[in-house]
Chains A and B, each alone.
Chain A
């Protein structure tokens, strides 16, 4: 339960706000991921970081800006979001050739 933590757990923001989501993993993993889960849609991969280097950007709009200062921390900076960006944002981490472990998520509502 405490292997991957995310803050805040809930966030309400206006379309002109700037906010950041934080993820921290305590599992000694080398890769970290951001996913978006919208209602009635499959989990969508957004970004992948391996050893702090971004290796995947799944055509995510520039209003989402990831940052990975080290292998244990991952941020998602949000600015000028749209109401359709409201979703559950999940962070995950993994080691080489191993399963990804997820954090509890941040439920985001954009008004």
Chain B
């Protein structure tokens, strides 16, 4: 059975701090690793990682995948109160199809205080 584990489960920081969120995975027929941000509504897509060692960046957020050690990290620099959310990591099991299926971790609850 596929498994995705995130750490820490919750994190409280102050504005301006840098945070690192961790995600380890055990996914058969692994295709990709995805990060989502969830506030009081639907998860919004952040990154999809397929290749090891290649950093993806979007503003203050960046993420990297290590396929040998089966983990990924999400970094947020100069945090703002608007970064407060649940960050979800998901492993994509290709399953022999072109679409696969996602197994989600339990999420990291990030709280950024002013």
Contact = CB atoms under 8 A, between A and B. Distances in A.
Interface of A: 4, 30-31, 33, 40-45, 48, 50, 55-56, 58, 90, 94, 96-105
B41 A94 contact: no
Contact of B98 (A33, A96, A99, A100): A96
B42 A48 contact: no
A45 B103 contact: yes
Contact of B45 (A48, A50, A101, A105): A101
The secondary-structure label for the interface of chain B is: strand
Given A102-B42, A104-B41, A94 B106 contact: no
Contacts of B95: 56
Interface of B: 4, 31-32, 34, 36, 41-45, 48, 88, 90, 95, 97-99, 101-107
A111 to B, nearest CB: 23
Contacts of A33: 101
B101 A43 contact: no
Nearest to A48: B101
A101 B105 CA distance: 17
B34 A94 contact: no
B99 A42 contact: no
4 closest Cβ contacts across the A-B interface? Answer: A102-B42, A43-B104, A96-B98, A31-B99
A31 B106 CA distance: 24
Given A31-B99, A50-B97, A96-B99, A102 B104 contact: no
Contact of A50 (B34, B99, B106): B99
A48 B99 contact: yes
14 contacts: A30-B99, A41-B106, A42-B104, A42-B105, A43-B43, A43-B88, A43-B90, A43-B104, A55-B97, A56-B101, A58-B101, A97-B98, A102-B42, A104-B41
